[in-house]
Amino acid sequence: MKLKVSSCQLKIEDDIDITFQKAFGLLNRASQKGARLIVLPELFPYGPVFEKEKAYEFLERTPSILEELRAFSRDKRVFIACGLISGSGDNGLFNSQFFISPDGKVFRYDKINLFPPFKEDKVFLKGDAPKIFSIKIKNAPLTLGAMICFDLRFSELSRYYSFLGVNVLLLSSLWPSSRISNFRTLLRARAMENQCFLIASNAWGKKGEINFGGASAIIGPDGNVLKEMEEEEGIIVSEIDTRRQEDVRNFFNTSRPPGPWSFDPEKKVLGLNELKEIVKMRKRAGQKMVFTNGCFDILHAGHISYLKEARSLGDFLVVGLNSDESIRRIKGEKRPVISEEQRSLVLSSLSFVDYVVIFNEDTPRKLIHTLSPDLLVKGADWEEEDIVGARFVKEHGGEVKRIHFKVDISTTKIIEKIARSF
């Protein structure tokens, strides 16, 4: 399928209304050149937002901006991707990419990787899922993957999209000129390694103290630059052909998920000395370690939601698992029901559990003192002063988090229910 696409490179002014009208001018020019899919920059009417109070002020403009874009999309029969603030006063704010269809439908992706130097993590909540937009042009399907600025540096997001068969990556960005060479390199890399088309829209010019670098581009699935802008305001238009993507992938295919080596659960179960060295390396790389512990005798839905939430708090999750011996001392001779070998295998098979370490002591104090986690996690039924290792973690610059169980179930309740059924 052939499709004309466009990227708009916009200079963001201090006045939202002026910037918005300029953006409409670029949209008009792109549609007049036959573009059916048009991409605008991240937070395009106002640029970076450093204060939550200002973000809420800009949020009030989002509904009216979306309505005008919907009307334009419907009138010109074009698809539009653009960056705006979304959310609410009750649930928090998101840096979002909206995708607007000529039939009036609006879809939304919330930025997953927030940019600390712009204080985004102080203003916005982190998005929790990738977003795919599917459209049809002349009954031919086209699948699009959403990305926002800093997301470009995290290859796993674009890889995820490519594994699902995405044709085009859409990037709305506010990328500074000081790192524009990185921007150009990453655009080509993400298109090339995933064998996808990539449409990138960046801001240009000075806004406050920040100079934005332009370099908006349309990249082919082989990494070739189809069109690119320099330092100016304007548009680029190019035709993409999905048959080109098919040709590239038929020649050799790099858009496959990793092989079995990447998810062998037994390799996640480590001794303390080996794990200590791995944790050191990952911390040196700037990653935050999350630690929790438990028996996890009969793994249930409560455990799953708890571990998933624990993992979301940092970059990798270590689970300290009570050995059979320690469980017998704590819970009696009839426990555990499942052996430590099998419990560790089941735990390590979860995608959000990175490592499992078995301990024989009654408490994980030795593990905590050896590994020094950045975040120590326990259930909300524990008072912080009763959590083993809490004081140590806080004294060493870490945090203690208490998580509510979302499912009212326990191993004891499961065992009792099974016993009643016989």
pLDDT single digits (tens) 101-127: 999 999 999 999 999 999 999 999 999
At the second CATH level, the architecture of 262-420 is 3-Layer(aba) Sandwich (3.40)
Segment 5-14, tens digit of pLDDT: 999 999 999 9
| Predicted local distance difference test score (pLDDT) of residue 141 | 87
Check if 2-257 and 262-420 are the same fold. Answer: no
pLDDT of residue 404: 87
SS3 per residue for 312-340: HCCCEEEEEEECHHHHHHHHCCCCCCCCH
Calpha distance 359→340 (Å, rounded):
10
Q: What percent of the chain is modeled with pLDDT above 90?
A: 87
Q: Using DSSP bridges, classify how beta strands 316-322 and 289-294 pair: parallel, antiparallel or unpaired.
A: parallel
Q: Half-sphere exposure of 89 toward its Cβ, with a 13 Å CA cutoff?
A: 5
> Tokens representing 151?
């997301």
pLDDT in tens, 359-380: 999 999 999 999 999 999 999 9
Q: Is residue 1 scored above 90 in pLDDT?
A: no
Question: What pLDDT score was predicted for residue 136?
Answer: 84
3-state SS assignment for residue 186? helix
Indicate the residue type of 291. F
Mean of the pLDDT values across residues 67-96? 95
Give me the residue spans of the domains in the chain: 2-257, 262-420
Would you state the pLDDT for residue 338? Answer: 94
Q: What is the CB neighbour count within 10 angstroms for residue 125?
A: 16
Nearest to 203 by CA among 149, 245, 257: 149
Q: Is 419 exposed, middle or buried (0-12, 13-18, 19+ CB in 10 A)?
A: exposed
Give the helix ranges, DSSP H, for 60-95.
Answer: 62-76
Supply 32's token pair: 């007049």
Q: Is 260 strand, coil or helix?
A: helix
Question: 419: helix, coil or strand?
Answer: helix
* CATH superfamily to which 2-257 belongs: Carbon-nitrogen hydrolase (3.60.110.10)
* Arithmetic mean of pLDDT over the chain: 94
Quote the pLDDT of residue 89.
74
CA 148 to CA 44: how far, in whole Å? 12
Residue with tokens 């004309």: 4
C-alpha distance from residue 248 to each of 70, 95, 194, 377 (Å)? 35, 34, 10, 46
